Each structure stands twice: as C-alpha cells, then as structure tokens.
C-alpha cells in the first residue's frame, strides 16, 4: 500500500470530529494484580500497547503486518509503526488500513476514529471495534460481517495531481526538502499539506526509478 503512516491519511469522505467535541476515553491498562485477583493502579494506555491491540485483532483476522498501515500524526519507529513518548498531536485521529487475501487488487479496508483526545485511545477504539465485529462472525454472521467490512473500504482519492504540480521540476530534491520543512506539522504546517508534498515526492521517485 502507498498510504502514508505519517502524517495522518484520513480516508476520503469520512466525517471528522470537531476538536471541541472530542471526549476523554476510558481505555486503561491495569498495572498490578492484587492477591485476590483484582487489579489496581490503572493507567493510560501507551501508544505501543494500543498499537499492539490493533495488530492483535487484525492478526486474528489473518492480516499480516506487511498488509497493514496504521496512519497517525505521530512520527514512526524504524518498523513503520507509531512511536511512543511523543507529545500528543493537535489532531489525534487514527486511520487503520489493511488488505487480505480476498480483497487484493481492490481498495484497502479502512477504519478511522478521532472521537477521543489521545492517539492511543483512538487506536484502542479501533481495536475494540474490530473485536466487536469479529464477534459477529463467531456467532454465525459471516455474511453480515462481510457486508459490514465492505462499508469500510477506503474510497479512492480524488484525481491525483502530477508531482510536477507540487515540486519544482528543475530541482525536485531541493524543492522537496524545502516544502517538507515548510509544511511539517511540527513546524506549524497542516497534515494535509505535508501529505501532499510527500505524495509528490513518492511519485517523483517512482518516475525516476
């Protein structure tokens, strides 16, 4: 998949939650088990823990890591997944894209959530939703599940512009570096503008071979 994991690639046509309408989630991680089997000292989920929840649910659906993109406004680890211990971005939305052996050649499936004010909680919400939908299949609703997931297919993007419309054709490398720095979300740029620059660079690299 060519969908970027950073910055956030929100699916076309999906409604966004206004910042003021976002909630504080209740996803927690119990940190210690008492002698009687109960847990205490619950804490907020970390990014790594939330990512693992998403991966675990998709693995139960037969989705490999190679067929998965977790897209957020968090910078990435070397393995391409969101890195923990970062400042919470202004836009905490997440979009999870995946393909399976039955849908190759078609638009990837997608689930995107921005209801909560933390990236980790939105990831946990994706995992919880996937778990709930898998329960449909366990109870004999395979056809219902397939119809439901069909509704989560990512819509095609609008007609793509040429990389020449974004980068300077006489100096692609230099203009890419300048525009990337100018539009980086950590420097006041918007994720959409940054993503446009990155997409143009990827197209240029493909043309160059």
Q: What is the pLDDT of residues 28-56, one digit of tens each?
A: 665 556 667 665 556 789 999 999 999 99
Whether residues 49 and 3 fall in one domain: yes
Closest residue by Cα to residue 9 from 74, 65, 60, 63: 74
Q: What pLDDT, on the 0 to 100 scale, is given for residue 198? A: 83
Q: What pLDDT, on the 0 to 100 scale, is given for residue 113? A: 96
Whether residues 168 and 139 fall in one domain: no
Whether residues 143 and 174 fall in one domain: no
Whether residues 146 and 47 fall in one domain: yes
Whether residues 118 and 32 fall in one domain: yes
Q: What residue ranges of the chain have pLDDT lower than 50?
A: none
Q: What pLDDT, on the 0 to 100 scale, is given for residue 154? A: 62
Whether residues 61 and 133 fall in one domain: yes
Complete edge-to-edge strand list for the sheet that includes strand 94-98? 68-71, 94-98, 109-113
Q: What pLDDT, on the 0 to 100 scale, is given for residue 71? A: 95
- CA distance linking residue 1 with residue 161, whole number of Å: 18
Instruction: Find the helix packing angle between 191-208 and 172-183, rounded to 10°.
Output: 160
Domain tally, the chain: 2
Whether residues 19 and 41 fall in one domain: yes
| Contact status, residue 46 vs residue 119, Cβ threshold 8 Å | no
- CA distance linking residue 87 with residue 102, whole number of Å: 38
- CA distance linking residue 59 with residue 142, whole number of Å: 17
Whether residues 22 and 65 fall in one domain: yes
Whether residues 32 and 65 fall in one domain: yes
Which of residues 130, 157, 184 is at a domain's end? 157
Pairing, β 94-98 against β 68-71: antiparallel
Q: What pLDDT, on the 0 to 100 scale, is given for residue 144? A: 58
Dump pLDDT digits (tens) for 157-184: 555 568 888 899 899 999 999 998 888 8
Whether residues 122 and 78 fall in one domain: yes
Q: What pLDDT, on the 0 to 100 scale, is given for residue 109? A: 86
- CA distance linking residue 102 with residue 115, whole number of Å: 30
Which of residues 136, 157, 178 is at a domain's end? 157
- CA distance linking residue 168 with residue 48, whole number of Å: 38
Q: What pLDDT, on the 0 to 100 scale, is given for residue 202? A: 79
CA angle 183, 65, 93 (to 5 degrees): 40
DSSP conformational letter for 78: T
What range defines the domain where residue 62 resides?
1-157
Pairing, β 32-33 against β 39-40: antiparallel
Q: What pLDDT, on the 0 to 100 scale, is given for residue 52? A: 96
Q: Which residues contact 79 (CB under 8 A, 6 or more apart)?
A: none
Whether residues 117 and 140 fall in one domain: yes
* Residue keyed to tokens 């395979």: 142
Whether residues 11 and 101 fall in one domain: yes
Exposed/middle/buried for residue 97 (C-beta within 10 Å: 0-12, 13-18, 19+) = buried
């Amino acid at each position: 998949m060519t969908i970027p994991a950073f910055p956030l690639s929100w699916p076309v046509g999906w409604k966004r939650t206004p910042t003021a309408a976002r909630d504080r989630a209740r996803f927690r991680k119990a940190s210690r088990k008492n002698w009687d089997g109960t847990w205490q000292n619950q804490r907020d989920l970390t990014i790594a823990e939330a990512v693992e929840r998403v991966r675990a649910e998709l693995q139960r659906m037969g989705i490999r890591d190679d067929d998965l993109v977790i897209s957020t406004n968090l910078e990435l680890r070397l393995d391409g997944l969101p890195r923990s211990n970062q400042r919470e971005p202004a836009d905490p939305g997440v979009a999870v894209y995946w393909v399976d052996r039955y849908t190759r050649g078609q638009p990837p499936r997608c689930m995107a959530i921005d209801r909560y004010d933390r990236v980790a909680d939105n990831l946990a919400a994706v995992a919880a939703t996937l778990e709930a939908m898998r329960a449909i299949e366990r109870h004999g609703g395979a056809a219902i599940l397939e119809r439901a997931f069909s509704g989560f297919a990512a819509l095609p993007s609008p007609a793509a512009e040429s990389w020449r419309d974004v980068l300077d054709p006489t100096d692609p490398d230099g203009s890419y570096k300048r525009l990337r720095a100018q539009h980086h979300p950590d420097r006041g740029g918007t994720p959409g503008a940054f993503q446009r620059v990155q997409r143009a660079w990827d197209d240029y690299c493909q043309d160059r071979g």
